Amino acid sequence: MIVVTGAAGFIGSVMVGKFNKEGHEDLVLVDDFTNHQKNKNLENKVFLEKIDRDIFFEWLDKNHNDVDFIIHIGARTDTAEFDVAIFNKLNLNYSKKMWLKCTAYDIPLIYASSAATYGMGELGYSDNHEIVDKLQPLNPYGESKNEFDKWALKQKDIPPFWAGFKFFNVYGPNEYHKGRMASVILHAFKQINKTGKMKLFKSHHPDFENGKQLRDFVYVKDLTDVLFYFMQNPKSSGLYNLGTGTARSFLDLTTSTFSAMKKEYIINFIDTPIDIRDKYQYFTEADMKKVRDYGYTNQFTTLEEGVDEYVKDYLALENYF
């Protein structure tokens, strides 16, 4: 059987859907299942059972012989949360325990890291292990992810296979519950529906025009395709970037959303708030060479294609994947 943590969340629930699509119903889902809105992500999914995250390790001690693989996506992902104790508990220490259990029970492990580990990108966006100790994340969330990556790389006792994926800017269905942490596409859709306009941050950097700040936006279905491929082909353990390898602007993203909604573009630029201005990233782009060298050859969905599908097939109809 396959364990998916964070299974009721955005990426986790799409991962469960991917497994179902590929014929896997032998799934054990792990999460805090008290959020009714998140649980809607799991309607119509097929699985064996749900286990609360607080008792999962007790369950694993009893059932580890039946577990073939663990996909550990569950984490606190709020970049505006500054209580380090929360991240230590839910991200760093929980992941360490997961690693130690997988090592003891000989279970392969894939886990979610984050592009937030790269900070301002001073050292670039290469998933080279040599730079991990030198990275300077901008918030406790990014720090928690980088601290675990650093810890994992230092371990002599390891699972039979492991891969940590640095997710870049993920968007797509099943993020209705995420509130302010949802993708810009979801916020744009809501704002355009309500006002007919979209507000974007001005550029406060001489090298970038307004709206031309760049991010690597990756469609969640592409992301789960990569994770599934690595699970099926467990060869070289390590850290891997997971974006598209092509940075796109917020202007591109916004105009694509207007197009999918069949509305005229009306975009207003507002000042980036002072409290985040000095930490605002103007460019992120995943170096995808390691994933390509691993053997993954599928093309990534273009921003225009991904936004069009997300808006028309999900947001406009309030559908779930």
Task: Classify burial at 6, counting beta carbons within 10 Å of its beta carbon; exposed 0-12, middle 13-18, buried 19 or more.
Answer: buried
CA distances from 133 to 118, 149, 153 (A): 11, 9, 10
Catalytic site includes residue 279: no
CB distance 211 to 134 below 8 Å: no
HSE (side-chain half, CA atoms, 13 Å) at 291: 30
Sign of CA dihedral 16, 21, 24, 25: positive
Catalytic residue of the set 118, 125, 141, 240: 141
| Residue among 50, 178, 202, 290 flagged as catalytic | 178
Angle between helices 10-21 and 220-232 (to 10 degrees): 60
Separation of alpha carbons 199 and 271, rounded Å: 10
Tokens of 217: 């936006």
Residues 30 and 3 sit within 8 Å (Cβ to Cβ): yes
Q: Could you confirm whether 197 is annotated as catalytic?
A: no
Cβ proximity of 277 and 215 under 8 Å: no
Active-site residues: which are they?
141, 178
